[in-house]
Amino acid sequence: MSFRLPLRRPSSAIAYLERTRAVWHRPDFCTAECRDSMERYFVLNDRGEPMPELDVDVWARWFEAADRSVARTVVSPQVVILTVFRGFDEPTEGKAPLLFESRVFGGVLDGEEVLYATRANALEGHEHLAAWCRMGNMPDGGITEDQII
């Protein structure tokens, strides 16, 4: 029995999951240890709290339709910080899942990415990144002559 990966990119996460679901659930495809090491999926409930979702099909449908944004700060027309709910995490023994992500677009910290376990930590980290981006966006990177030794 052989397994082939799809040759073309799926048009959506749902289409891909529908085509591959039978393969992933085959007992000979992946051992229990392998399944335990795979990503864990989460959705947000009505109060915005992460809840585990075991059904990947349900998660994919939710992920495509959900508003996952947590915070957005525009420092300048060229610098934006976005914080979102990721919805998945790779299991790490003894650590909380990192379900929130802040990312900087533009400026001196362009591409900076930080992951968080909770919404509260993500909001705090978002503000921290925004403060650094504001400093970096100032003339001379926010450093005054007094601070240069």
27-79 pLDDT, tens digit per residue, is 444 444 444 445 689 999 999 899 999 999 999 999 999 999 999 999 999 99
Cα angle value 121/127/131 (rounded, 5°): 145
The DSSP 8-state label assigned to residue 102 in this structure reads E
Q: Residue 6: pLDDT band by 50, 70, 90 thresholds?
A: very low
Residue 105: CB atoms within 10 Å: 16
pLDDT exceeds 60 at position 94: yes
113-126 pLDDT, tens digit per residue, is 999 999 999 999 99
Helix, strand or coil for residue 66? coil
pLDDT at 149: 66
pLDDT exceeds 80 at position 10: no
